[in-house]
Amino acid sequence: MILTVLPWKRALIIGASSGIGEELARQLARAGCHVALAARRADELARIAASIDAEHGEGTALTYPHDVRETEEIPALFQKIAHDLGGLDLVVYAAGVLPILQPDEYDFTKDRQTIEVNVLGAVAWLNEAAERFGRAGAGTLVGISSVAGDRGRCGMPVYAASKTFLDTYLEALRNRIAQKGVAVVTVKPGPVATQMTVEMDQKKLPFLITAEKAASLTLEAAARGRSVAYVPGLWRPIMMTIKSIPSFLFRRLNF
């Protein structure tokens, strides 16, 4: 179910040019929210913003072409976005990369990109949001993590580690600013049909859902103030079971 009533009026989506980020922007706009879209691909941002504006009115969506690896740009850009929107009450970090690795491949270039996008970009953007919301005593901060962060998987060592980092970082932010009235939400999707998974055999991905469904469940969890939300919820008991497998057995699994 796609929510039509949401508690936010001004939202920033980092990683809004495709997948979950794009769907979040569309669903937020549909619920009456003004949205700022930040991502690397300017042409895709323009396409999405034009579509949103055509449906909901000129100026509903603002675009900010940006590569999250350019972390020195972020403080000034964050302030500009907050100014242009007339405030912020929701920030979502949805940017992420999942380079495909062959079974015997160790590629530091891919690994560095994963850390720069999934870790350093997230910290740079969410630090800004946490500071602003902490001062205001209000706001919602959402990080899109992954069930992959729950175990060290042989097929994606650095990707899994990057999501484990994000989980712990978001928990620490929550412990730091929740008492100030700020909601910090960790969203942990299972496989989602996006460009990130298009190089995989999606027919073999368990419980694959659409980006639209993932976005809807993300907004529902955030609106309810959930601390950690598995998307869809069936992944919670699945990952509890997987996390309980002893390491000496888990390493024998091709998972």
Sign for the CA dihedral angle at 55, 61, 65, 69 comes to: negative
CA atoms lying within 13 Å on the CB side of residue 45: 19
pLDDT in tens, the chain (255 residues): 445 579 999 999 999 999 999 999 999 999 999 999 999 999 999 999 999 999 999 999 999 999 999 999 999 999 999 999 999 999 999 999 999 899 899 999 999 999 999 999 999 999 999 999 999 999 999 999 999 999 998 889 999 999 999 999 999 999 999 999 999 999 999 999 976 655 555 556 778 999 999 999 999 999 999 999 999 999 999 999 999 999 999 988 876
Tell me the three-class secondary structure of 27-92, residue by residue: HHHHCCCEEEEEECCHHHHHHHHHHHHHHHCCCCEEEEECCCCCHHHHHHHHHHHHHHHCCCCEEE
This prediction has a pTM of 0.94
Domains by residue range for the chain, with CATH = 10-250 (3.40.50.720)
